[in-house]
């Protein structure tokens, strides 16, 4: 891989994944882009940044030519909660953005595309426990509809145009550097900030709402490993189940109490509860383990310890 373009690099995942790729491939070989110019100083100062709207196919083609790009990590998307508020926007950005990336990649014969999928591909008819790799994909959110379509479209391009499009069905990703962009699993980030700042959190999901999750270092590890995996070994290329642990808001609260014993949580479920209820409780990620060696490093308590330490450090440096 010579040069890699990241779309949507200013978001929760892109803000960290782009820097991780710069460490591996070299700062100047990883081109960061987003439609928003609000990106971190680290990202802006460590390598090239381009203002790029994935709905503008000509601009994508020009950027690929200008920087001699041969691979794209396509992160630009509208997530589940924002998508249910504005389904037309979710369809437009997720579908047309991905079609533009796939088409330019086809025309210019790019080597590889990685586009994340999500556990949002699952729906109420999908088996909820240990959800298999190959299963019912009939989601009830527009976000999920777009993610299923992108997986299928990726398969089509791989089959008919000999392309190399890869993707993972991330669970909820938990991190402390960049706030999440409007998903249903965002509670699992906000809870840690409120725990450190005010020792209480008002949760928008029920106490028993079980969802698969993963800490950002594992998300970076999984994405990097799939990006680098031997193409010949990939049988489920565009939508690998990957997970680290499955938790409810009550589990997260109990884990926080091991460090902040007087932490309190209240529950006021909103429209995001219906989205969470339509997803699964746990995922079987054996295909990812067998085909490219996936294995997570963090469980809930290990993540809680690390994330609280990092947020406390950030808060202390603000005071000083
Ligand atoms: P995010 O919402 O934090 O960031 C998305 C980025 O896309 C933003 O910086 C936004 O400015 C940019 N964007 C939006 N419209 C654009 C456009 N038209 N052109 C260019 N950029 C545009 O999302 P994220 O959490 O970083 O997610 C990245 C990818 O991972 C997405 O495909 C998402 O569906 C997937 N994913 C994320 C999670 C999670 O928990 N964060 C879970 C499953 C899947
Ligand atoms: C969301 O909640 O929308 C995302 C996801 C699981 O895709 N975090």
Q: What is the mean pLDDT of residues 237-242?
A: 97
| pLDDT the model gives residue 317 | 83
Pocket test for ligand 1, best of 8, 97, 153, 244 (most atoms within 8 A of CB): 8
Residue 213 φ/ψ, nearest 5 degrees: -140, 170
> Which numbered atom of ligand 1 lies nearest the CA of 119?
43
- The dihedral through the CA atoms of 60, 66, 69, 74 has a sign that is negative
Q: What is the Cβ-side half-sphere exposure of residue 63, based on CA atoms within 13 angstroms?
A: 28
**Ligand 2 center from residue 76 Cα (angstroms):** 13
Count of CB atoms within 10 A of residue 64's CB? Answer: 21
**What is the reported pLDDT for 320?**
65
Q: Tokens for 202?
A: 């008002």
Question: What are 73-102's pLDDT values in tens digits?
Answer: 999 999 999 999 999 999 999 999 999 999
Residue to probe by mutation, ligand 1, list 56, 75, 117, most atoms within 8 Å of CB: 75
| Tokens encoding 65 | 């030519």
Q: Is there a contact between 139 and 150 (Cβ–Cβ < 8 Å)?
A: no
Å from CA of 114 to ligand 1 middle:
13
Place 227 in a pLDDT band, splitting at 50, 70 and 90: very high
Residues 6+ apart with CB under 8 A from 126: 135, 136, 137, 138, 280
Q: What percent of the chain has pLDDT over 70?
A: 99
CA distance 173 to 277: 18
Average pLDDT over residues 31-45: 96
Q: Using CA atoms, how far apart are residues 16 and 210, in angstroms rounded to an integer?
A: 26
pLDDT, tens digit, for every residue of 177-203?
Answer: 999 999 999 999 999 999 999 999 999
The alpha carbon of residue 285 and the mean position of all alpha carbons in its chain are separated, in whole angstroms, by 16
Going from the Cα of 179 to the center of ligand 1, the distance in angstroms, rounded, reads 11
User: How much is the average pLDDT of 232-240?
Assistant: 95
pLDDT for residue 143 is more than 70: yes
Taking the C-alpha atoms of residue 216 and residue 101, their distance in angstroms, rounded to an integer, is 25
Q: How far is CA 201 from the centre of its chain?
A: 24
Distance CA 164, CA 227 (A): 10
* pLDDT number for residue 316: 87
Cα–Cα distance, 10 to 33 (Å, whole number): 8
Ligand 2 centroid–CA 173 distance in Å is 8
Catalytic residue positions? 143
| Residues near ligand 2 (Cβ within 6 A) | 79-80, 118-120, 143, 172, 183-185
Helix (H) or strand (E) segment spanning residue 173:
strand 172-174
Q: Tell me the per-residue pLDDT of 116-137, one tens digit each, with 9 for 90 and over.
A: 999 999 999 999 999 999 999 9
Q: In 3D, which of 158, 254, 256 has the Cα closest to residue 198? A: 256
What is the model's pTM? 0.98
Give pLDDT tens digits for 268-305.
999 999 999 999 999 999 999 999 999 999 999 999 99
User: What six digits make up the tokens of 233?
Assistant: 């070994």
Count of residues in the chain: 320
How many angstroms does the Cα of residue 117 sit away from the middle of ligand 2?
Answer: 10
Ligand that comes closest to the CA of residue 173: 1
- Residue 31 binned pLDDT confidence (cut-offs 50, 70, 90): very high
∠ Cα 227 64 235 (to 5°): 25
**How far are the Cα atoms of 2, 107, 109, 263 from residue 68, in angstroms, in the given order?**
8, 14, 12, 51
CA 160 to chain centre: 27
Query: What is the C-alpha separation between 94 and 88, in angstroms, rounded?
Result: 10
In sequence order, the β-bridge partners of residue 174 are 215
Domains of the chain: 4-171+215-241 (3.40.50.720), 175-214+245-280+298-319 (3.90.25)
If one residue of 81, 184, 249 were mutated to test the ligand 2 pocket, choosing by the most ligand atoms within 8 A of its CB, it would be 184
Ligand nearest to the CA of 120: 2
Nearest to 162 by CA among 101, 236, 111: 111
Contacts with 69 (C-beta within 8 Å, 6 or more apart), sequence order: 3, 4, 5, 31, 63, 110
Q: What percent of the chain has pLDDT over 90?
A: 97
Which atom of ligand 1 is least distant from the CA of 185? 40
């Amino acid at each position: 891989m010579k040069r890699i373009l990241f779309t949507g690099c200013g978001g929760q995942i892109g803000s960290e994944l782009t820097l991780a790729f710069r460490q591996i491939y070299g700062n100047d070989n990883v081109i960061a882009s987003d439609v928003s110019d609000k990106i971190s100083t680290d990202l802006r100062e460590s390598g090239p940044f381009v203002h790029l709207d994935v709905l503008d196919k000509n601009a994508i083609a020009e950027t690929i030519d200008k920087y001699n790009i041969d691979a794209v990590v396509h992160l630009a998307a509208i997530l589940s909660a924002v998508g249910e508020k504005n389904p037309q926007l979710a369809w437009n950005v997720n579908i047309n953005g991905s079609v533009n990336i796939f088409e330019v990649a086809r025309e210019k014969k790019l080597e590889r595309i990685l586009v994340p999928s999500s556990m949002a591909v699952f729906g109420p008819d999908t088996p909820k426990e240990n959800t298999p790799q190959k299963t019912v994909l009939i989601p009830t959110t527009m976000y999920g509809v777009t993610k299923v379509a992108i997986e299928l479209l990726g398969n089509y391009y791989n089959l008919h145009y000999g392309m190399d499009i890869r993707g993972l069905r991330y669970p909820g990703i938990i991190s402390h550097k960049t706030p999440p962009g409007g998903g249903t699993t965002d509670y699992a980030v906000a809870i840690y900030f409120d725990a450190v700042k005010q020792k209480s959190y008002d949760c928008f999901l029920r106490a028993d709402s079980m969802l698969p999750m993963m800490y950002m270092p594992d998300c970076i590890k999984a994405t990097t490993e799939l990006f680098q995996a031997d193409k010949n070994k990939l049988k489920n290329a565009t939508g690998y189940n990957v997970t680290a642990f499955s938790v409810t808001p009550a589990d997260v609260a109990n884990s926080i109490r091991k460090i902040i014993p007087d932490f309190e949580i209240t529950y006021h479920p909103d429209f995001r509860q219906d989205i969470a209820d339509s997803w699964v409780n746990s995922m079987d990620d054996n295909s990812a383990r067998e085909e490219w060696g996936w294995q997570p490093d963090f469980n809930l308590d290990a993540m809680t310890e690390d994330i609280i330490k990092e947020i406390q450090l950030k808060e202390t440096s603000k005071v000083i």
